[in-house]
Structure 1
Amino acid sequence: MVDEIIAEAENQMKKAIEALKLQMQNIRTGRAAPGLIEKLQVEYYGVNTPLQQLATITAQEARLLVVQPFDKGSFSAIEKAIQKSDLGLNPANDGKVIRVPFPPLTEERRKDLVKVAKNKIEDGKVSIRNIRRAHNDDLKEMLKEKMIGEDDEKRGQEKIEQLTTRYIHEADEVGHHKEKEILEV
């Protein structure tokens, strides 16, 4: 029983790290990549929809993305979503496609992006700590209901703490890698 809780905690922590890595991909580093905007939520007929479901996104040059919407009626909604994102992009609509130029990053913008990355890393760490708390609560509940002994509860909490330490360290590594990537000129 305790091993099941530990395995579930580890599985959830792995998923938190995977989600964090996906969020890091959405922080731009000076190069145009479709992954930067494909997950942006676009309000389309009252429903938030990922951009990749509304358009084809291609990187035609190192600093230019081209968005080809499937529906002509979605042009303005896509433009608004790109402008509202924290990526600092200014799309241009020519009636057929939306061009998204990536200006070179200034030192100030790089520092802002590092702050955004650090906030996302901290959110990831908080979710890992929440997973730890939830599973420790499960162990305490099992002890209270006399399903496990105190030794098992203590051993389970120690293993969950080890997992937490490991995955928080992994989140820090993801953050350091992204910070280095952003500050690279």
Structure 2
Amino acid sequence: MSKTTTTSQFRMVGQLESFVIKKGDKIKYLRLKVEEREYWLKIPKKLRSEIDINLFPGTWLEITGNRELKQKKGFFELEASRVKLLSNPDIPCAVIVSEPESTSVGKILVCQKSSCWKRGGQSVCQRLEKELEKQGLSDRIKIKLTGCLKQCKKGPNVVVMPHKARYSQIKPGEVGELLTKHFTP
């Protein structure tokens, strides 16, 4: 199986919350507050020596780097490539992300075997397509018809990836809630 990664550039302006330090004095992560949200940014070895560990919480920083989608875990990992100290506290908080060409973040597997299909799998699949389009997720989430998911008597069966969440006896009316639960921030 091939491993595909989705990466893009980011730029953040926010306030330092703290450092996450491992093995005595090695900065592994930097916690940054941007508006009301906190981000953990991985600090690579080559950048660790350039960061002043004595910075106070609340210090304004501008950080640029790469973000990578961790397909199996279903979240983005942020890695800093540059950390810049800002002296002007009037700078508004901002997160600017340059999106990659492909922003696929998930798949929904739908059993197409006769038992699941007869129990409403086809209706669930059609509703999934409509809801993905309606919620603007059709370019990020793909529907894949699969073979037996080993829960024939509990069909129709659906698996949401990358979360590996399994759903049995799903009804077309539950599709919108399922998409919101897994793919809406």
Decide which structure has greater strand share. Answer: 2
TM-score (norm: length of structure 1): 0.31
Higher RCO (Cα < 8 Å, 6 or more apart): 1
